[in-house]
Amino acid sequence: MRITTQSFDTLKDLDIYTIGLFEGEDLSEKHQLVDAACNGQLSYALKEDSFKAKLNKKMLLYTSGSTVFKRLLVIGLGKRDEYTTDKCRQVAATAVKELISLKKENVASEYLGGPALGKDFVNVLVEGFGMGAYTFNHYKSKDEENPEFVLEHIILSCKHDIQSSIKKGLTTAKAVNTARDLGNHPGNVATPTYLANAASEIAKAPNFKLTIFNREDFEKMGFGGIKGVSDGSDEPPKFIIMHYTGDEKDGKTLGLVGKGLTFDSGGISIKPPASMDEMKFDMLGGAAVLGIMQAVATMQPKLNIVAIVPSTENLLGAKAYKPGDILKAYNGKTIEVLNTDAEGRLILADALSYLTENFKVDGLVDFATLTGAVVVGLGHRYSAVISNNQDFADEIKSVSDFTHDKVWQLPLDEDFTEDIKSKIADVKNTGNGRAAGAITAGAFLQEFVKKGTPWCHIDIAGSGWNKSGKSYNPDGPTGVGVRLILELIDRWKKE
Ligand code: BES
Ligand code: ZN
Ligand code: ZN
């Protein structure tokens, strides 16, 4: 999608012009001009229609050729004093969905209430357009009579130079949509090799170095976690490392890890069949990391990033690892496997220890669809944060408040570490029965983060995909985590 700008008085030959109205307000001077251009249709409809400018409501008017646009699309913004950046993102998504369903090429929009926010809203508005336009029809046969309409271009009516905010918003939306695409492709397509290929495409950009470890390397590298989990699958596993150096000399370095489990059957501790198909989404942590790195490749921010996506399937078969097995992770700690379905923490153990033993990072964030417990605790709107460093957790929370990529912190202290101690190995891969399952998973991961590294684990098992979400989140993968980290990068990078 392209977004260009043009001032209102130079617009011409438009199929649709889009405006946003606040609930319970008289028409502004600018909207009075719009009303006059379409012979009072707008003020008439506002009186007669039930629209009332409620949030995310819409109304379509025809102008009978009285002006430079054939149709006027009116979007409700709700009450002015309740308007937020997230609502701006929502109404932009509502608008773009309507524009797409109308299948018209020449469309323009005004700011949809953005200026009422009193801060930089352009990238939020553009994010809403880009995220709201997302669809995934890759596996549907083409309907020749009714081809899918792709909206290529939106004109923003505006006098100012806002190109850099537009670029930022579009890059963010594209990264979110990349993460969604990776998630939507099923397990027989989005294999570990597919993720590795996606990483190598991204790593063609300047300042990237890509390293991939394969099954043959695991033993000599000491990656006992991913080796154990991948033993039951014929599909080649990949341990993907992307190293971006945007500021080699003295810039900050961010560590990222994403669980890339391309299908989780549970292994020998097999899952029940209902909803097992959804375990194709068990790589959404890895998808978020790849989406983030794609945006980094475009924006080339001045900081450094080490990103690791350990990727494999978790299946059952003659070579599969078994309950009772003991594995040794990269940092030498031994793990008693009590449930082969708690596999995510095993592959993350190698990734977190490899990253923190070999690179000095100022902060490390991992994303993982790690526990069913987090879905029970927080539902689908919040990701859980579990951290060893309160300042870093506070920073993530503040970025989350800003981006509306919502997180909520759960506690972590040494009492939880007791819950993951094993009688015969250093740790076990389950906690204390069902109690605090999301936290004991975090306590397990902490054992593999080198002491002194500020770290946040983000459990996205609930927030990773949706059945019905906000207008900018389609059914299926949400792309959670991408906006959060791109904003963190913005705050960490040098200008
Ligand atoms: N991938 C699952 C977690 C999951 C469950 C994600 C539901 C999304 C929705 C993970 O590998 C898993 O199975 N975790 C187990 C751990 C338990 C055996 C300690 C769980 O949460 O039940
Ligand atoms: Zn599992
Ligand atoms: Zn899993």
Tally Cβ neighbours within 10 Å of residue 166.
Answer: 22
According to DSSP, residue 82 is labeled G
- Ligand 1 contacts CB of residue 371 (under 6 A): yes
Both 371 and 442 in one domain: the answer is yes
For helices 163-184 and 284-299, the axis angle rounded to 10 degrees is: 150
- Structural domain includes residue 327: yes
- Ligand 1 contacts CB of residue 384 (under 6 A): no
- Structural domain includes residue 58: yes
Element (H, E) at 209: strand 208-213
Both 448 and 397 in one domain: the answer is yes
Q: Judge whether 317 and 340 are in contact, CB under 8 Å.
A: no
Residue type, 479: G
Q: Which domain holds residue 203?
A: 175-492
Both 201 and 141 in one domain: the answer is no
What is the reported pLDDT for 14? 97
Locate 122 and state its tokens: 């352009």
Q: How far is residue 399's CA from residue 390's CA, in Å, rounded to a whole number?
A: 14
272: number of CA atoms within 13 Å, CB side?
A: 2
Both 111 and 189 in one domain: the answer is no
- Indicate the pairing of strand 253-258 with strand 407-409: unpaired
What is the distance in A from the centroid of ligand 2 to the CA of 231?
15
Is residue 184 scored above 90 in pLDDT? yes
Going through 410-454 in order, the beta strands assigned E by DSSP cover 427-428
Range with the poorest average pLDDT among 47-51, 242-246, 481-485: 47-51
Both 366 and 450 in one domain: the answer is yes
- What CATH number is given to the structural domain containing 260? 3.40.630.10
What SS3 class is residue 200?
A: helix
Reported as a single tens digit per residue, the pLDDT across 116-164 is 998 789 999 999 999 999 999 999 999 999 899 999 999 999 888 899 9
- Ligand 1 contacts CB of residue 312 (under 6 A): no
According to DSSP, residue 494 is labeled B
Q: Judge whether 244 and 208 are in contact, CB under 8 Å.
A: yes
Burial of 203 (0-12, 13-18, 19+ CB in 10 A): buried
Q: Judge whether 428 and 336 are in contact, CB under 8 Å.
A: yes
Is residue 246 scored above 90 in pLDDT? yes
- The residue among 159, 189, 216 that closes a domain is 159
Q: How far is residue 448's CA from residue 331's CA, in Å, rounded to a whole number?
A: 7
- What CATH number is given to the structural domain containing 73? 3.40.220.10
What SS3 class is residue 477?
A: strand
- Structural domain includes residue 170: no
What is the reported pLDDT for 161? 86
What is the reported pLDDT for 159? 84
Q: Judge whether 170 and 1 are in contact, CB under 8 Å.
A: yes
What is the reported pLDDT for 196? 99
Both 370 and 485 in one domain: the answer is yes
pLDDT band at 69 (very low <50, low <70, confident <90, very high): very high
Give the atom of ligand 1 at the shortest distance from the alpha carbon of 344.
11
- Structural domain includes residue 168: no
Q: How far is residue 130's CA from residue 107's CA, in Å, rounded to a whole number?
A: 15
Q: How far is residue 492's CA from residue 142's CA, in Å, rounded to a whole number?
A: 44
What is the reported pLDDT for 469? 80
According to DSSP, residue 485 is labeled H
- Structural domain includes residue 264: yes
- Average pLDDT over the chain, rounded to whole? 97
Task: Characterise 150 by phi-psi region: left (phi > 0), alpha (psi -120 to 50), beta (else).
Answer: beta
Both 256 and 301 in one domain: the answer is yes
The mean per-residue pLDDT over the stretch 81-87 comes to 97
* For ligand 1, atom 3: residue with the closest CA: 371
* For ligand 1, atom 18: residue with the closest CA: 342
Highest mean pLDDT among 5-14, 42-51, 284-293: 284-293
